[in-house]
Amino acid sequence: PWVLPGTCSNAGFPRGHSLWAHFTCSGLGSSRSCRWISAPLWTSIGCRGTFLKNCSNFRHSVLCGLRFMLQYLMIGFSRFAVFLLRFSDLQADYYAQQIKELEKKFQKKVGEIGQIQLEWKLIKEFCRGKASIEKELEDEVVVRLEGRFLEEKVKADRKVVIKALGFCFPRSRQLNSTGREVFQENVCLHGGFAYQLKETMELQKIKQKLEEDKTVLLQEKETNEGLIRKKILQINRQKAQIGDLQHKVAKLEMTLCRMTRESERETQKTQHQALRENQASMVEVKKLQQLLEMKDREMNRVKKLAWNILNERTEVERFFLDALEHVKQEIISSRKHYKKKAQTAYYRKMMEACAGKEEFPKIKTFKRNINSTNSVYRDLEEAEKCYWEKIQFEKVDISELTWEQKERVLRLLFAKMNGTNPRKSTVKQSASTKIPDY
């Protein structure tokens, strides 16, 4: 807005100015009648400047919004592409990890099954070789016992013969040959019986031991058969579990393949959609760029127009400031002239009163004093107030106004051009009846 300064320069307004034809005034440098510029013209100029300013602000906000929308779309497309890539990578990693875990479980079960099969082979070989081993052990025991029996028998025969010969040798002389033979045979039979009895006892002990070994072996056989049955059941269960796991692995592989294909299709679909949207966004970006260029060109034209209007407004402002300065100078000169005339008349009346021709006039002051009841400035204020009350509802010609009234009209015109309320300024000026002292 234009601000009217308190003091202005003393430079006069040139007569040859381009706006002088619109503004001629009686008393403002010439004695001819004047014609003021109409108020709607200045109102239209001020409204046009405000409208252009609002248009420029609106275009600037629209351009900022379009740029922000463009940046937001580009950021959204880039984030969406990164999200798709990360999502596909995460799905592939998840299913690969599940496949690895299932493969580890499968390898573990295969190892357990191999170990169980090895144990089963060992058990079968043990069952096949058990009978032959038992037979070989029995044969070895029998051969060993027979050898020992023969050796012991030979030793016993020798001992019996030696004892019989040594014991019966003195008496053998007294017996005949038949008695000696019978006696020798009796001694031999007695020794053989004792040896047979001893061997029988030993064989009974060996038989009892073999029966105990047989019982232990039968118990071991039953235990091994139970263990074999348990292992067979366990192997069957593990085979069933392996079959179920293989079936599950096959299902998971099929599911993984299907989900991989679906994810690939979705990825391709999203990529195609992103490409289409990106192409559409690029087309929109091009359109927005063209729109921005058009808006920039319009803004440049608006700026040029606003600059021209501002220059014209500046010229008008200079014209009004110069006119106001001229009015101020005229106010000062007219007040000085009025003060001089009033002071001369007052002094003349005082001289006539001193000469006794007239009565003494009332005391009048010619300086600005608050306590003064009769001052030149108070007369000016009263005259101004009475004049405004008189012409409030009448049409007034600019040539009939005083310089103070012309100054007030200029100030009201400035207030209206700047967009302020001229009534408030008028009320303030009418409320304070002081006349400014320039």
User: Is residue 360 within 8 Å of 353, Cβ to Cβ?
Assistant: yes
What end-to-end distance do the CA atoms of the chain give, in Å? 25
Higher pLDDT, 5 or 275: 275
pLDDT in tens, 136-151: 777 777 777 777 777 7
Give percent of the chain above pLDDT 70: 63
For residue 246, name the pLDDT band (cuts at 50, 70, 90): confident
Higher pLDDT, 425 or 383: 383
For residue 53, name the pLDDT band (cuts at 50, 70, 90): low
Summary mean pLDDT of the chain: 71
Other CB atoms within a 10 A radius of the CB of residue 319 amount to: 19
pTM: 0.27
Query: What number is the average pLDDT over the span 115-129?
Result: 75
Higher pLDDT, 163 or 261: 261
Of 226, 235, 233, 244, nearest to 114 (Cα)? 235
User: Is residue 160 within 8 Å of 191, Cβ to Cβ?
Assistant: yes
What single DSSP character describes residue 365?
B
Rounded CA-CA distance 298/301 in Å is 5
Residue 16: pLDDT above 70?
Answer: no
For residue 294, name the pLDDT band (cuts at 50, 70, 90): very high
Rounded CA-CA distance 36/399 in Å is 11
What single DSSP character describes residue 174?
T
Q: Which two tokens stand for residue 9?
A: 């320069």
Rounded CA-CA distance 428/269 in Å is 76
Rounded CA-CA distance 50/42 in Å is 12
